[in-house]
Amino acid sequence: MSFPASRIFSRCDLFPEEFSIVVTLRVPSLPPKRNEYLLTVVAEESDLLLLGLRFSPAQLHFLFLREDTAGAWQTRVSFRSPALVDSRWHTLVLAVSAGVFSLTTDCGLPVDIMADVPFPATLSVKGARFFVGNRRRAKGLFTGLVRQLVLLPGSDATPRLCPSRNAPLAVLSIPRVLQALTGKPEDNEVLKYPYETNIRVTLGPQPPCTEVEDAQFWFDASRKGLYLCVGNEWVSVLAAKERLDYVEEHQNLFTNSETLGIEVFRIPQVGLFVATANRKATSAVYKWTEEKFVSYQNIPTHQAQAWRHFTIGKKIFLAVANFEPDEKGQEFSVIYKWSHRKLKFTPYQSIATHSARDWEAFEVDGEHFLAVANHREGDNHNIDSVIYKWNPATRLFEANQTIATSGAYDWEFFSVGPYSFLVVANTFNGTSTKVHSHLYIRLLGSFQLFQSFPTFGAADWEVFQIGERIFLAVANSHSYDVEMQVQNDSYVINSVIYELNVTAQAFVKFQDIPTCSALDWEFFSVGEDYFLVVANSFDGRTFSVNSIIYRWQGYEGFVAVHSLPTVGCRDWEAFTTTAGAYLIYSSAKEPLSRVLRLRTR
């Protein structure tokens, strides 16, 4: 359930500095590491969590966004869990006043925390939305019962509820229908809980989720899952734990020519798409229709290497990295804008690039950027790659910063707390593929060198998070030096996974994984399991090389679980639909990409 913050804050956009949250709930047992959200306030455009209340079997967490001149970061105040997950009713009062956070459970003694970071006096909820029992995502959905959830401005609300004859069910504001835990039968009627209702059973495919079905439940007998219609999407509420069983071929996607990169993206109210970066003069966009991708739009390109989808406000863009010059000998990469009238992508801005390999789009403090990986200019691989910044006045991207690179192949942006990072995959310096790839941190309005990694023809970086741990994986493609003789086994080398060590303030090596001229990593999850799939492209003898899916197994790291036959594999993308989870890979050696379905049990 959700509603706009403006429904409560109609005259002022600022969240009160002093307030209480009162909740009466009943929670079943939870897995040890599961977190569920009771209440969140989320910025609609950026999906940034402004305020939230979540719990686990061990703790209750109050989250809020704090901003100052150094930037914005999320603060967490944690209370040891007052035995919430015991399938009994409990009433909690969380009172917030400046730097004091107080939790009272069942009218007992309050637990006070004096936080180093006080709750902000000017937290704006303009353009935000309240979510009850979720955080706008399927992960972390609340799975218990709630009788009352009240937000009160002002100081501690505990005296308004306590003392109470029945402290676990202390009443402040409860709808009349929920005042009694059970309804009283009249005459010969069957006893009914007030929150029960009639149900309707239908057979057939997934029902529509529109305004008519909003807030209705749907039980999928085949997948053994309970779903709630929220907006226009069925959100999983309760589902059997899915585990990856096997991978099967779902679709052979014939492309205009060999495909060097793919980008899967969604356009709201329109659908799911994939853009293919093709070697020859035309690349294409395909739309997911009746459980497969079908041709939707052809776009002229010049040995396209990659596409990047991004949004700025309500504007939807798709940028292509062109490797070769156009018919006039000019090197340009092009940004296309989605036309809501034509339902097509149309040219928007051309940017001079040099054998561009990749675009990376990102946002820092409300400002939008595009970074291009310039690979070479003529025979010179040691050139500048450029970061462009969106100018809201001109509505164009303008050069903002140049960074020296060596055969740049890929950019990857990520954030850790209030800090923003950008890492480049350097491939070749003119004489050797053994070059350092660099990680940059944004300080004082520009990216500055933070850490360097020894890499061998680095073609891709993939950042991902498992729990509180942050990892960075590099795909090494080739060990080559002009002074040494070419060897077939120079393509069979280790790619490396690094893990962020917060104490050392650096990424340290976590695991070596043998790969065959790896060109891409893709991280994805199925149920509660995490996976990495690598694009193995060449072993020194043949392009028919198996790409491998690795599963996260904690202390063991990533362990190979599936071997997938591929030909010149260049790029992997993971995506999900209402029907299930899929992988798609592109081939740089044949005009055929394949969609694979992840079968679960």
pLDDT, one tens digit per residue, over 567-592 is: 999 999 999 998 999 999 999 999 99
Q: In the structure, how many helices (H) and strands (E) does the chain have?
A: 0, 42
Which pair of tokens denotes residue 195? 């929150």
The pLDDT of residue 192 is 46
Q: What pLDDT digit, counting tens, does each position of 534-553 carry?
A: 999 999 999 999 999 999 99
The CA distance from 555 to 561, in Å, is 16
Q: What is the average pLDDT score of the chain?
A: 90
Residue 183 has pLDDT above 50, yes or no: no
Together in a domain, 275 and 337? yes
Residues 299 and 307 sit within 8 Å (Cβ to Cβ): no
What are the residues whose beta carbons fall under 8 Å from the beta carbon of 438, sequence distance 6 or more?
Answer: 423, 424, 426, 449, 450, 451, 452, 453
Is 457 in contact with 432 (CB distance < 8 Å)?
A: no
Percent of the chain topping pLDDT 70: 92
Asked if 99 and 213 sit in the same domain, the reply is: no
Are 328 and 223 within one domain? no
- Residue 254 in any domain: the answer is yes
CB 556 within 8 A of CB 497: no
Give the domain CATH number at 346: 2.130.10.10
Does the residue 436 lie in any domain?
yes
Whether 53 is covered by a domain: the verdict is yes
Contact 570, 260 (CB under 8 A): yes
Which pLDDT does position 396 carry in this prediction? Answer: 98
CATH number at residue 89: 2.60.120.200
Give the DSSP H/E element, type plus range, for residue 493. strand 492-501
Co-location of 229 and 291 in the same domain = no
d(CA 477, CA 492): 8
Sheet with 356-364, side-by-side order of all strands: 356-364, 367-374, 382-391, 396-406
Cα pseudo-dihedral 91, 94, 95, 99, rounded to 10? 160
Are 100 and 218 in a shared domain?
no
pTM for this entry: 0.66
DSSP 16: P
Q: How confident is the model at residue 182 (pLDDT cuts 50, 70, 90)?
A: very low
Q: Looking at 149, 171, 193, which one is the last position of a domain?
A: 171
Examine residue 20 and state whether it is found in any structural domain, yes or no: yes
What DSSP assignment string belongs to 337-388? EEETTTTEEEEEEEEE-SSEEEEEEEEETTEEEEEEEE--BTTB-EEEEEEE
Q: Is the pLDDT of residue 186 over 50?
A: no
Q: Are residues 220 and 289 in the same domain?
A: no
Q: Where are the alpha helices (DSSP H) in 538-586?
A: none
pLDDT score at 324: 95
Residues 6+ apart with CB under 8 A from 85: 27, 28, 29, 30, 57
**What distances in angstroms separate CA 213 from CA 130, 132, 230, 325, 333, one per listed residue?**
20, 18, 9, 52, 44
Report the range of poorest mean pLDDT among 77-81, 355-359, 381-385, 524-528. 77-81
Task: Quote the CA–CA distance of 282 and 298 in Å, as a whole number.
Answer: 6
Lowest mean pLDDT among 188-197, 243-252, 283-292, 478-487: 188-197
Within a domain: 417: yes
Alpha carbon separation from 469 to 416, 439, 474, 500 (Å, rounded): 11, 18, 17, 7
Return the residue matching tokens 């097509």.
Answer: 344
286 in any annotated domain: yes
Containing domain of residue 513, as a range? 244-600
39-48, 106-115, 292-301 — which one is most confidently predicted on average? 292-301
In a domain, 92, yes or no: yes
Q: Which of 193, 223, 238 is the endpoint of a domain? A: 238
Residue 151 and residue 215 in one domain: no
The answer to whether position 469 is within a domain reads yes
Q: How many CB atoms lie under 10 A from the CB of residue 257?
A: 17
Total tally of structural domains belonging to the chain:
3
Q: Identify whether residues 103 and 212 lie together within a single domain.
A: no
Same domain, 115 and 254: no
Report the range out of 82-96, 226-240, 288-302, 470-484 with the highest average pLDDT. Answer: 288-302
Of all residues in the chain, what percent carry a pLDDT higher than 90? 63
- Average of per-residue pLDDT across 330-359: 98
> What's the pLDDT tens digit per position in 365-423?
999 999 999 999 999 999 999 999 999 999 999 999 999 999 999 999 999 999 999 99
Find out whether 60 and 81 touch, Cβ atoms under 8 Å. Answer: yes
Provide the 8-state DSSP code for 31.
-
For residues 369 and 487, membership in a common domain is answered with yes
pLDDT, position 121: 86
Please check whether residues 322 and 462 belong to one and the same domain: yes
**Model pLDDT, residue 486:** 57
Q: Quote the pLDDT of residue 191.
A: 44
Per the CB < 8 A criterion, the answer to whether 85 and 29 are in contact is yes
Q: Do 8 and 52 lie in a common domain?
A: yes
Q: Per residue in 121-169, pLDDT tens?
A: 888 999 899 999 888 776 778 888 888 899 988 877 888 888 888 888 8
Q: Distance between CA 258 and CA 250 in Å, rounded? A: 20
Domain boundary among 130, 148, 171: 171
